[in-house]
Structure 1
Amino acid sequence: METETLALAQEMDFSMWALFARATFTVKLVMIMLIIASFWSWSIIIQKFIAYRAARREARHFDREFWSGEPLDELYEQIGPDPRGRSQRIFASGMTEWRRSHRDDGNLIAGAQARIDRSMDVAIAKEAENLQAGLPVLATVGSTAPFVGLFGTVWGIMHAFIGIAEQQNTNLAVVAPGIAEALLATGLGLLAAIPAVIFYNKLSTDADRIVGNYEAFADEFSTILSRQLDAA
């Protein structure tokens, strides 16, 4: 009897597709959700790596231009009031407010320094929001995917036990397929969650560093404008 049971178990297909095909509708739905969440996470991860690398490259290029000794007004004329680069947009926001703070007679409107700082802070906040877009999805997938997979596992095991009770048979050929199908859901949950958590932490740190560099640049730029304001 035991030999026949082992032979039946060996004849069963335990490939990923076979386990998915034999699963109940609820477990299949859970698996599909986890697969979609995994692909969604990876698309965000790849897009963020590309965006952050471009942001760092653009920031280095603009830093060289900014500290090249070229007059700030000429640099502003080159990039315009609505440039494409993130660092350039922060610079342009400060310069735009700087020019707006000059009256027709050449004197400055009171409170110019505070308005310039506030303008650059708003620009930095917009860039930070853009850089961090999508990261909450990674956090959500990382925190919920294991529980979604566990739900699929519990549901699958419950269905397997119901099948055992109906057949009045507890041999390996009856038990193994249902348990394997149920555990596949947990495996997919972990497969979606682990990369999401790892790269969420990595990308959050990268975004904070980029925003920190923007804030440092804004402080340096504000100091330069403050000296000019005091001289004026």
Structure 2
Amino acid sequence: MFVKDCFILSSPFFNAYSQSDLLGKIIFLGLVFLSILTWVILLNRGYLAFKARNSAKFFEGRLTEKKGSLLSIEGLQEKNKNPYYSIFSETRKNTLEILAKNKHFGLKGTGREEIFLSPTDVDIVESHVNTVIAKEVQDLEKNLYVLALVTALAPFLGLLGTVWGILTTFEDLTMQGGDTSHAVLQGLSLALATTVLGLVDAIPALVGYNYLKNYIRNFSLEMECFGHKLVTDIEMHYRKVDIS
């Protein structure tokens, strides 16, 4: 424990922080906060995206094992919500509502029991599927903009520390006489440390943001394919076909 404490106290970053003025300390703390925020968002969003994709694939496998129309499938409750289940359940609910309205308004008093979806109804179902998919993608991308913000802000904040460190160095050189090596080293330490911290913040944020955006974009394409399969299955079972 003592060795660890000595290592921290002898760290160039700690020395630069302890020897900097108030503005320098604020810049240091701001960069540390951005670093913590970046990793929290990366780990949280990454875990949720991977979990959603894996659970969605598992649900798709369960759905494939079922026979018959998707609207007749029961017992597919999910403990953990995943995008595929949300798309399936919302599409099923929306389609059943449309069929119920068609039965009430179109077949009332006719004595017929067949229920069909018109081409317009199919378009409504497909539009509803696209809306659900867009909402799921929005949920997966929640707070990712912060990573883009850190990517842009951290280098500038590090540059601010660099400029401020050099400025304080020249100020000390003009104000002090004799041996000014300590003042020069103190200012350069602040300048270089904040530059490094800015890059340490920006690089993981940039890589993580682009990776997660690409991962979610690919997953959104898979969701669109899944939604298209649902609409196609519903259309095959419930769209009325005119036979001449």
Flag structure 2 segments of 5+ consecutive residues without an equivalent.
Answer: 1-9, 108-113
SS at match of 1:193: helix
Deviation of 1:93 after TM superposition, in Å, equals: 1.4
Aligned match for 2:71, one of 59, 70, 73: 73
Within 5 Å, which residues of 2 pair with 1:57-72?
57-71=54-68, 72=70
Does structure 2 conserve the Cα–Cα contact (< 8 Å) formed by 1:164 and 1:170?
no
Are 2:115 and 1:118 equivalent residues in the alignment?
A: no
TM-score of the aligned structures, taking structure 2 as reference length: 0.83
The range that moved more, 77-86 or 104-113, is 77-86
Give the direction of change, closer, same or farther, for the CA distance of 1:113–1:149 in structure 2 (3 Å limit). Answer: same
**Per-residue deviation at 1:70?**
2.8
Q: Deviations over 1:29-85 (max 9, x none)?
A: 11111111110110111112211221121111111122113332343x324699822
- Establish whether residue 175 from structure 1 lines up as the match of residue 184 from structure 2: yes
Show the counterpart of 1:215: 224
| Inter-partner Cα distance in structure 2 for 1:155 and 1:50 | 38
User: Does the 8 Å CA contact 1:81/1:92 hold for their aligned counterparts?
Assistant: no
Contact 1:27 1:153 (8 Å CA) reproduced: no
Residue deviations 1:200-232, cap 9 Å, x none?
Answer: 111111111111110010111111111123356
Unaligned stretches of 5+ residues in structure 1: 1-12
Q: How many residue pairs are counted as aligned between the two chains?
A: 219
1:160 to 1:83, Cα distance in 2 relative to 1, 3 A: closer
- Per the alignment, residue 154 of structure 2 pairs with 145
Code of the aligned partner of 1:18: N
2:30 to 33, 52, 65: 33
Q: Bigger CA drift: 37-46 or 56-65?
A: 56-65
Query: Does structure 1 retain, via aligned residues, the 8 Å contact 2:162–2:194?
Result: yes
Partner AA of 2:230 in structure 1: F
Match of 1:8 in 2: none
Instruction: Give the residue type in structure 1 aligned to 2:143.
Output: G
Written as runs of structure 1 = structure 2, the 5 A alignment for 1:81-120 is 84-102=81-99, 103-104=103-104, 105=107, 106-108=114-116, 110=118, 111-120=120-129
SS at match of 2:81: coil
Match of 1:6 in 2: none
Distance 1:183 1:20 in 2: 11
Which residue identity lines up with residue 143 of structure 1 in the other structure?
A: A
Q: Which amino acid aligns with 2:71?
A: D
* Aligned CA-pair RMSD: 2.2
15-24 or 170-179: bigger deviation: 170-179
Residue 17 of structure 2: which of 20, 28, 34 is its match?
20
TM-score if structure 1 supplies the norm length?
0.87
